[in-house]
Chains A and B, each alone.
Chain A
């Protein structure tokens, strides 16, 4: 068996992994979010709204084992996401400064 098959390809990928990538970049955190491809402005959303709904989602679905993340953890996760997005432009790498 090759290495590819032994690695858990997307098997354990959680909703937060997905949100992290499908929302991670091209978004502005302050004010209304403009979703964009290569600088093209589209219908806007507010990422904070989305993230806070996900938080509630997790609380509501705490019985669902797909995501065993506590709501407290999700607050942090939310911060991480917001931080990650806000820093997206500069791609701050704490290990490279």
Chain B
């Protein structure tokens, strides 16, 4: 033959018994040529699609990502959307983008090797959803609050008046820095507090890096970015609390954004 066998692009792993309840319906795979399929190994079912070995081998994939940007965007979206829909039906261990095995055999070998880990992951994420919370903040109202309410800063402001204009300039800059520091502290405390309350509802949590303003392209600063694994029957309570906090603190410049349910990306690795 001389032709390479297809590679295996793995979307995710689900428990076999759930397939009896909700049969798998095939969909078009990432290359739009092959259909997604199921392979079962004991209690574990892998949802995958075959991909051409030459197109999806390391170097080819790399250059494709460089040269075919529409493909990249489309494929990343495809991957995500597939996982979203699988997650609605099954207890899904989601794979990262372009998780590719060289053959069915190598996939099977790895899955069998990892069977215990996979089983415990199923238990961990069963009937749970991943939600992301980003908290944004308008610094101005908070800065004003700090200026008005911090005793040490108030004191320094009063001292300022008795100084010469030259000293005033430098002391003022010092105070600004102090206010900045206080502001950060206030913001962190606020977010930490919210996070602690949400963590009580969630079964697991992870704090992520908050993106800078340049990243988000927004006017408001992102102060907090975290993910939660939440039991399905707790999701409503979680979202209610987020909404309540949002309403309570909107006038102080805070804005909460929850997105989900995501595949449990952050809780399976």
Residues of A bordering B, CB below 8 Å: 2-4, 6-10, 12-13, 15-19, 21-27, 35-38, 40, 42-46, 49-50, 52-54, 56-57, 60-61, 68-70, 72-74, 76-77, 80, 83-84, 87, 91, 93, 95-96
Contact = CB atoms under 8 A, between A and B. Distances in A.
A70 B125 CA distance: 37
B236 interface: yes
Contact of A42 (B77, B101, B192, B235): B101
B214 A8 contact: no
B242 interface: yes
B259 A17 contact: yes
10 contacts: A7-B239, A9-B261, A10-B262, A12-B259, A26-B96, A35-B96, A45-B58, A45-B61, A80-B212, A87-B209
A3 B236 contact: yes
B261 to A, nearest CB: 7
A95 B191 contact: yes
Interface residue tally on B, bucketed by range? 35 or more
A8 B259 contact: yes
5 tightest Cβ-Cβ pairs between the two chains A and B: A57-B69, A76-B214, A3-B239, A22-B97, A77-B215
Given A10-B260, A22-B76, A53-B65, A96 B242 contact: no
Nearest to B130: A21
B114 interface: yes
B178 interface: no
A68 B96 contact: no
Nearest to A51: B65
Contacts of A12: 259
B243 A3 contact: yes
A9 B240 contact: no
B217 interface: yes
Given A23-B97, A40-B110, A43-B57, A80 B262 contact: no
A26 B93 CA distance: 14
Contacts of A96: 207
A7 B261 contact: no
A25 B266 contact: yes
Contact of B98 (A35, A69, A77): A35
A18 B207 contact: no
Contact of A80 (B114, B191, B215): B215
B217 A69 contact: yes
B98 A91 contact: no
Interface in B54-107: 56-58, 61-62, 65-66, 69-70, 72-73, 76-77, 79-80, 84, 93, 95-102
Contacts of B61: 43, 45
B214 A21 contact: no
B215 A50 contact: no
B258 interface: yes
